[in-house]
Structure 1
Amino acid sequence: MITANDLVSREVHHCISHLLFTVAGGSGGNVESTTELADLAEQAFELCSPLEDWEEAADQDGWAIDGHLFVNHPLQTTAEASPLDASGWQELCQEFEIEPYQREIFEHWIVSDWLADKLEAKGEKVDKDFAGLTVWARTTTGQAIYCDWVIEQIATEVNSFSLMGVE
């Protein structure tokens, strides 16, 4: 069994928030747009921009998952829940014209590629090639990373897969 704290110790490497916010300040035409620095500034700006939270928006609109269906009991409506990840929530919201919530980015962390894939599947913002680094744009702050809901969920999934014998 792996704890959320073990997961963070193994997969989260360094905080680079100050670097990202500084480089992001160079975007928007302050640097010649053909330079590598301008491209990096645009990437940093994107990583500092709010994250669209489609799942929370759908939840607040009354949607939930029941098996392989999205269900909205107040509207007595269903929609196929495929795939059951962040992109499925986005497709549902776009189909029913639900605007996403904007979650502010507070911190930036270098993470492993493995964790980046898990975070992306949960709807988190990740850039897998920010100047050769894999960066997670964290939308929480003021608590240990292992206390984040998304990290706890990933640890739970890893443990349930290992109990089933799946790596």
Structure 2
Amino acid sequence: MRTAEDIVRMEVHYCVSSLVSILAANDGKPGYSASMFDLCEQALELASPIEDWEEAARDAGWREFDPPSQGSTVCRNATEAEKVDDDSGPLTYASDWQDACNVDGLEPYDREVFEHWIVSDWLADKLAAKGEKVDKDFAGMTVWARTTTGQGIAGDWVIESIIADLKREYGEE
């Protein structure tokens, strides 16, 4: 089984934080060709915070519902008013984290992007499935917008989560 260090060594290639930062800072400057303008727009998107609906919903008492009920994947204890209004019982359901926030009128938290890394398409797909921001065609490169800093990439929660998924998938837990 591959370790987190193996994944990083094989699937994370180069840091391009400075490149993305420079391009994002030049977004909208006159005189650029259309392709340069588009690349600056992509850089600005990669540098922008990631909306975190899940953490906002969890902080408001929402949790994953297992097994899913009536297409709902998250739930929380219903308020007394909700129980009376729609006779839904002890739980309030939502289809996903964003829907849960919408039910409660919550705004998502913003996760700041700290670094940008060229990664393999395989890792990009795994990261995107975990809610990470990736651009699979940033001037022909696949770039991950990393929201963690100050530690090795192998220690990121998302990398550890991918490793745990692989272990489950291959029965190595």
Distance in 1 between the 2:123 and 2:4 partners? 12
1:78 partnered with 2:92:
yes
Aligned pairs (5 A) from 1:119-138 = 119-138=127-146
Structure 1 vs Structure 2 CA RMSD? 1.8
**Partner residue in 2 for 1:152:** 160
**Larger C-alpha radius of gyration, 1 or 2?**
2
Q: Equivalents in 1 of 2:110, 2:32: separation in Å?
A: 27
With the length of structure 1 as denominator, give the TM-score of the two structures.
0.86
Per the alignment, in what secondary structure is the counterpart of residue 134 of structure 2?
strand
**For residues 47 and 144 of structure 1, what CA distance do their matches in structure 2 show?**
21
| Structure 2: tracts of 5 or more residues without a match | 80-89
1:59-93 CA-partner distances (Å, limit 9, x unpaired) = 11111113024121364433255xxxxxx322332
The structural deviation recorded for 1:118 is 1.1
Would the aligned equivalents of 1:20 and 1:44 in 2 still touch at CA under 8 Å? yes
Of residues 149-158 and 91-100 in structure 1, the stretch that sits farther from structure 2 once superposed is 91-100
Distance 2:18 2:117 in 1: 11
Q: How far off is 1:95 after superposition?
A: 4.1
Q: 2:147 aligns with which of 139, 146, 150?
A: 139
1:9-88 equivalences under 5 Å are 9-27=9-27, 29-32=28-31, 35-67=34-66, 68=68, 69-73=73-77, 75=79, 76-81=90-95, 88=96
Structure 1 unaligned spans of 5+: 82-87
The TM-score, its normalising length taken from structure 2, stands at 0.83
Which residue identity lines up with residue 18 of structure 1 in the other structure? S
State, as a whole percentage, how many aligned pairs show the same letter. 53
Alignment partner, residue 84 of structure 1? none
Aligned length: 157
AA aligned to 2:93 is A
Contact kept? 1:54, 1:90, Cα under 8 Å:
yes
CA contact (8 A) 2:15 2:115 kept: yes
* Dislocated runs of 4+, deviation >4 Å: none
